[in-house]
Chain A
């Protein structure tokens, strides 16, 4: 309440105006094209842009390829978020201990996050190709019969794309968890040790509850990133072998000159991200505690 005296709301007017004009208005206008027949034919001929109501949405939800892409996007977001958060937490717990190689290992696990997706994609393509390192390893271990064209097989391609995402971003989650872990006072652990708490009990009663804000951040960022997946699929499979996701469909519709259709897909993606993120975030927020 006291702050109001020193910082009046009028300070925000310019920022809100700037933000609104250059971010919010274009975004809203862009998404409103989802209800029109805007395309390469009438790109700048605004008179020829017609309102088509929910036509694009009707078509999309009756299109088996789109529905498959939708399912894949959900699966990608859910599986990779869970794995990234889980592995990131394990890494953070491990590297929060007093190890000589702690700083080095933290850097090693974080490096994938700063590498270009293209580079990582080429690396994964080479590893999982028919005569790649992974199949050779299987052969050397006497399991040659399990050798597959991993990125060209519908049963495995999506898993490889997911593994790239998990490999790349687990280190990033680890960093957020490490920051969270360092905010927890040692006093809690000392006090609980005196009371005879085991390591597992300390984790369940102290670490985990106090890490909830970091978990909320990680879950939110990873879910949004997961739903927006594009680069990883584009580089590894270009949407083939059952790996089509929402954004590869958006890209294809856009390059086919169907801008209204691609806007409709974008709107659907936005809706999904909004609903899922709001639900997950509000649920996790309720779990946050403050001792």
Chain B
């Protein structure tokens, strides 16, 4: 009688172990397959297969570049074409949906399955991706001497880990369709009440036009309202507030301006000023809605204008921009970051990647980019093209006159790895009955304190 029981008892640990493996293995292949499928790119991760070619020809090299939908510009295809024609280098561009990019990059770095080059914000993402540990030091590259704004790119250790596209970027504003404003007799608002009046007019008289288009599937677009609104509302108190938060002298719940900006944001949804499909809409959807006049405005950075012109073929005369008057202040929020190209230390072909970066930093390549996306080039000898009047006006009125403030993400960069969790809470707040501003603050205080404690920060 006892023998079968012994067998059963012996089988139990085996079954447990089998299930442990089933649970531990999980399913982790989706990110890659998804990324590639969405990009329409070749499924093979880039490899540096230098193949001997006929004499007189340059060696064929393939270099992979990982980027996100929002960071990707059509001009990169022209750059890739030129690299292929002139240098026999194949630039395998892999484009990942925005909502997956942030976590995907960090996961790829952790698992050492990295591309040869990846795009990210520099220097703001140095902390998120632990650049000193994971990225190649580019401080001694030949293009460093030609940088227009070299100090911007230096990390806390004084090293440069990314090759920039621009020398400055992120002018947070409401980019709007001038035709819609003209038809409804609207003008750019100067106070927050004016802003709400504009939205109300579009809602009631706009014949179905969405007053402000939100793209919460890409939560990096959701956060901009708070990321800019909070420092603008804090004004002179901003720096002291960040210092106290980083040392645990205050909680997020102790900042009344945080609650104000969250309530203002939630209010836009309650009043019906936002598109119904905001939860599943992407930044691309937002630009399309704006370009086709289905939406009156969206709140984002100046790269919106370049995309509206090149991707959506919007009439340049119909694009306008105004700064959201948070707390009735005429101050623009901006970011101390630019788009950067990084080379992971574990990349299979670091030397070829360095060569590619050096090549595309040259005016003959960078001019291809700025011809379609005019702006402030990262290199002194590159032609930035003619900047759209709406963007130029923002620079003239706010940057040149010192009427700007740094976005929340720059001074609070230490916590940036968990900012996507905060952005998720913002998104939760936009759905009726899910989370109130108070619940968002309380949940974020808990997540923030836990993360800082995990990272063994003094005071936590």
Q: Do A and B bind each other?
A: yes
Kindly state whether residue B22 has any CB partner on chain A within 8 Å. yes
Within the assembled complex, what's the spacing in Å between the Cα atoms of A41 and B37? 32
Min CB–CB distance A284 → chain B (angstroms) = 14
Chain B positions near chain A (C-beta within 8 angstroms): 15-17, 19-24, 26-28, 30-31, 33-34, 37-38, 99-100, 102-104, 106-107, 110, 130, 216-217, 276-280, 417-418, 420-421, 424, 427, 431, 433-434, 443, 446, 450-451, 454-455
A-B pairs with beta carbons under 8 Å apart, 28 shown: A23-B21, A39-B454, A59-B450, A65-B443, A117-B30, A118-B30, A149-B277, A151-B279, A152-B216, A152-B278, A153-B431, A227-B23, A228-B27, A230-B28, A231-B27, A234-B100, A239-B424, A240-B424, A241-B279, A252-B421, A255-B106, A256-B106, A256-B421, A257-B106, A257-B417, A259-B110, A261-B454, A274-B23
Q: A63-B446, A154-B433, A224-B23 are in contact. List 6 more A-B contacts (CB 8 A).
A: A27-B24, A151-B279, A151-B280, A230-B26, A255-B102, A258-B451
Within the assembled complex, what's the spacing in Å between the Cα atoms of A280 and B118? 47
Kindly state whether residue A96 has any CB partner on chain B within 8 Å. no
Min CB–CB distance B381 → chain A (angstroms) = 38
A116 closest partner in B (C-beta):
B33
The answer on a CB contact under 8 Å between B418 and A30 is no
**4 A-B pairs closest in CB distance:** A152-B279, A130-B277, A270-B23, A255-B103
The answer on a CB contact under 8 Å between B110 and A257 is yes
Within the assembled complex, what's the spacing in Å between the Cα atoms of A269 and B20? 9
Residues of chain A within 8 A of B279, CB atoms compared = 149, 151-153, 240-241
The answer on a CB contact under 8 Å between A273 and B280 is no
- A-B pair count, CB < 8 Å, reads 135
The answer on a CB contact under 8 Å between A252 and B103 is yes
Interface SS of A by simple majority: helix
A258 touching B22 in the complex, CB below 8 Å, given contacts A130-B276, A153-B279, A252-B103: no
A40 touching B30 in the complex, CB below 8 Å, given contacts A151-B280, A154-B434: no
Kindly state whether residue A278 has any CB partner on chain B within 8 Å. yes
The answer on a CB contact under 8 Å between A118 and B33 is yes
Within the assembled complex, what's the spacing in Å between the Cα atoms of A234 and B96? 13
Min CB–CB distance B118 → chain A (angstroms) = 14
Residues of chain B within 8 A of A227, CB atoms compared = 23
User: When the two chains form the complex, which single residue of B24, B38, B99, B454 contacts A238, counting CB atoms closer than 8 Å?
Assistant: B99
Residues of chain A within 8 A of B446, CB atoms compared = 63
User: When the two chains form the complex, which single residue of B20, B26, B102, B450 contacts A250, counting CB atoms closer than 8 Å?
Assistant: B26
User: When the two chains form the complex, which single residue of B21, B106, B276, B427 contacts A240, counting CB atoms closer than 8 Å?
Assistant: B427
Residues of chain B within 8 A of A15, CB atoms compared = none
Min CB–CB distance A204 → chain B (angstroms) = 30
The answer on a CB contact under 8 Å between A24 and B24 is no
User: When the two chains form the complex, which single residue of B17, B19, B421, B433 contacts A273, counting CB atoms closer than 8 Å?
Assistant: B19
Min CB–CB distance A261 → chain B (angstroms) = 7
Min CB–CB distance B242 → chain A (angstroms) = 21
* Per-residue B-contact encoding for A235-277, CB less than 8 Å = 1, 0 else: 1001111100001001110111111010000100110011001
The answer on a CB contact under 8 Å between B277 and A129 is yes
The answer on a CB contact under 8 Å between B22 and A273 is yes
